[in-house]
Structure 1
């Protein structure tokens, strides 16, 4: 398992599909080098709506890189403007683009141990209308719900640093509720 990309964004205007401008931190961009991770998240990252994003239980959002092929295909079929463009890491709004760890393998309370940081899985992501805007079509939220390709939130149990390319290990938690089960509730 490996951290493919470390992504962050300040809060900035996002144009929704109905043309409204709303503040959002969903448009994450890959960052170079090591970044500090503290109780409330990644250095240089921000969230616009702290009622549903951010805070100690949702300090970071992780997304499996393996799902990117699905979203490229869906965007092509929907004929989204720019669909032929590569989706850069962070396009799902994730802080951590991961390789080798998907929702069916992750349980609430599992730990991701990196060399200088440890994170705890807290819950799946529940997509909102802003995901439709960044994907460029109105059924993106529905497709995330149907596919179960939701990713998951993490709390910071050991602050430190993270760097793209570094490996990590999964330390099993109590194994009572999987991310997939929580997402379907």
Structure 2
């Protein structure tokens, strides 16, 4: 596992087609990041309902996916095209498990959930089909909560400190959230995973209740 790039950025206004929107997807490559439990110093989000918070303080996008998307769309995607804070090698969604704890530089971080992609990635990259393709593949990237604050830089080593479970990878968890809204067994399994974000826990509990509660006649 190795860091390829680090990035951060504040929300800014964009003109996408005929609509003006505010987003923090356009981040700037930097040499180091200071990770706080609430957020990354100097980083920001535009919509706090769907971005940011302690369970989504750090966003990683696997570097391997860049080569895949460049072949699919026959164009170059410059880092960080997906608004990630960190891109790394050998940390794909199938390599990493919900609840995994890593030491990166001075910090300790824990994997909490996959990323739910939105239309911003298509608008920002000028590819109408990008969102659909990322959504279908579950190659969405994922989030960490910060357990120990500190600085990481491009030379920081990534070390797995603890793997709490090895049944549900980030890919598996994302597949359940995005593609299995009525799979009760998959929901129950994911709800038992330690470290799962509060947001995904609430989503699963709501779906589970809707599917299992008696229907009043």
Q: TM-score, normalised by structure 1?
A: 0.88
Change (3 A) 1:19 1:75: farther
Consecutive unaligned residues in structure 2, runs of 5 or more: 177-217
C-alpha separation in 1, matches of 2:69 and 2:38 = 29
Cα offset, 1:176, TM superposition: 4.7
Change (3 A) 1:118 1:138: same
C-alpha separation in 1, matches of 2:24 and 2:173 = 24
Which one has the bigger helix percentage? 2
The answer (yes or no) to whether the contact 1:75–1:135 under 8 Å persists in 2 is: no
- Report which structure shows greater RCO (CA 8 Å, sep ≥6): 1
1:106 is the counterpart of 2:100: no
2:78 to 80, 83, 88: 88
Rg larger in 1 or in 2?
2
Consecutive unaligned residues in structure 1, runs of 5 or more: 77-82
2:168 match: 177
2:207 match: none
Cα offset, 1:88, TM superposition: 2.5
2:45 match: 47
C-alpha separation in 2, matches of 1:92 and 1:41 = 18
The answer (yes or no) to whether the contact 1:5–1:165 under 8 Å persists in 2 is: no
1:24 is the counterpart of 2:12: no
C-alpha separation in 2, matches of 1:113 and 1:89 = 23
C-alpha separation in 2, matches of 1:14 and 1:177 = 37
C-alpha separation in 2, matches of 1:6 and 1:121 = 17
The answer (yes or no) to whether the contact 2:105–2:153 under 8 Å persists in 1 is: no
Which range is displaced more, 36-45 or 51-60?
A: 36-45
